[in-house]
């Protein structure tokens, strides 16, 4: 049994971005990229469009990587720009968080060792393993 033509299973106006992305991938697998893009753009203009809830940054990014620029509203453009800015800030804050956790852990460990040394508790090091060399 042959492959089923995905162009007969067009996402609906209420479909999500992931549905449109998956459908495009299926079109590419069945047709070539150029034909898949043509079919996708035609269907998007009829059932999707810039006012669709599926018109997300993720869909626009994916379709842009496929050579298709999806129209977006001014609000979408503002949201995309804010997402880029705050995404970058989020990456920086995430890195700072991990640096603080690692640095804080190191400081805490040093503090515990200092307390142990000042309290008279001797910290024993594990014995060195005795290596037997074969002749």
The pTM for the full model equals 0.53
Question: Long-range contacts: 66-73, Cβ < 8 Å, 24+?
Answer: 66/24, 66/28, 66/33, 66/37, 67/33, 67/37, 68/37, 68/40, 68/41, 70/44
Q: List, in sequence order, the alpha helices (H) in the chain.
A: 17-30, 33-47, 57-65, 74-118
Are 100 and 107 in contact by the 8 Å Cβ rule? The answer is no
Mean pLDDT of 14-39: 94
Task: Match 């014995």 to its residue by tokens.
Answer: 127
What span, in angstroms and rounded, lies between the C-alpha atoms of 104 and 102? 5
CA distances in angstroms from 56 to 16, 34, 90, listed in the order given: 9, 23, 20
- Smallest CA-to-CA distance from 69 within 41, 31, 39 is with 41
Q: How long, in residues, is the chain?
A: 135
Distance CA 81, CA 87 (A): 10
Q: What is the mean pLDDT of the chain?
A: 81
State which of 56-60, 92-96, 123-127 shows the largest mean pLDDT: 56-60
| pLDDT tens string 97-133 | 888 888 888 898 888 888 877 776 666 777 777 777 7
pLDDT at 83 over 80: no
Percent of the residues in the chain that have a pLDDT greater than 70, as a whole number? 77
């Amino acid at each position: 049994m042959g492959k089923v033509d995905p162009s007969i299973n067009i996402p609906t106006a209420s479909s999500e971005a992931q549905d449109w992305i998956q459908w495009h991938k299926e079109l590419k697998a069945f047709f070539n990229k150029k034909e898949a893009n043509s079919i996708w753009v035609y269907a998007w203009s009829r059932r999707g469009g810039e006012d669709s809830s599926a018109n997300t940054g993720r869909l626009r990014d994916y379709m842009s990587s496929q050579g298709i620029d999806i129209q977006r509203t001014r609000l979408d453009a503002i949201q995309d720009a804010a997402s880029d800015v705050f995404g970058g800030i989020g990456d920086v804050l995430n890195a700072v968080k991990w640096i603080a956790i690692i640095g804080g852990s190191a400081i805490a460990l040093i503090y515990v060792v200092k307390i142990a040394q000042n309290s008279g508790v001797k910290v024993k090091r594990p014995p060195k393993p005795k290596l037997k060399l074969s002749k």
